[in-house]
Amino acid sequence: MIGTFMAFSLTDLESVIAARAESTAEASYTRSLLDKGLHKCAEKFGEEAVVAVIAAVAQDKEALVNEAADVLFHLLIVLQQKDISVADVMGELESRTGQSGHAEKSSRTSSKQS
């Protein structure tokens, strides 16, 4: 699968997660994780992120692809818990493209100090 372009998008994944959230915990890992609450969902997201970092440092491309998929999936679970859409996140990313990353980061840091 590495290197193969797929038309599957984060919005598609968001729809799959929303549909599975309507299932029962017995039938759906997604529902069972959501039922455990935000802290467990965030913890699982963090665990997957750490494993992805390990795969990246190990320079294991296939493992990183697999772990990146897990990270994205679990991030979308957290977003589902908080009722935040992929469109909300993409809108934020789009708003950041009008300036350099350094300038954008600096503006966020200085606004937090206010």
* pLDDT per residue as tens, the chain (114 positions): 555 666 889 999 999 999 999 999 999 999 999 999 999 999 999 999 999 999 999 999 999 999 999 999 999 999 999 999 999 999 999 998 887 767 767 776 666 655
Domain ranges of the chain: 10-83, 86-114
Residue 11 is predicted with a pLDDT of: 94
Residue 111 is predicted with a pLDDT of: 62
Work out whether the CA dihedral 39, 41, 47, 53 comes out positive or negative: negative
Residue 110 is predicted with a pLDDT of: 63
Buried b (16+ CB within 10 A) or exposed e, 33-72: bbeeeeeebbebbeebbebbeebeeeeeeeebebbbebbe
In this structure, which topology does domain 10-83 adopt according to CATH? Helix Hairpins (1.10.287)
Residue 84: other Cβ atoms inside 10 A? 13
Tokens standing for residue 2: 């590495």
Residues in Cβ contact with 24 at an 8 Å cutoff, skipping those fewer than 6 apart? 31
Residue 14 is predicted with a pLDDT of: 96
Residue 33 is predicted with a pLDDT of: 97
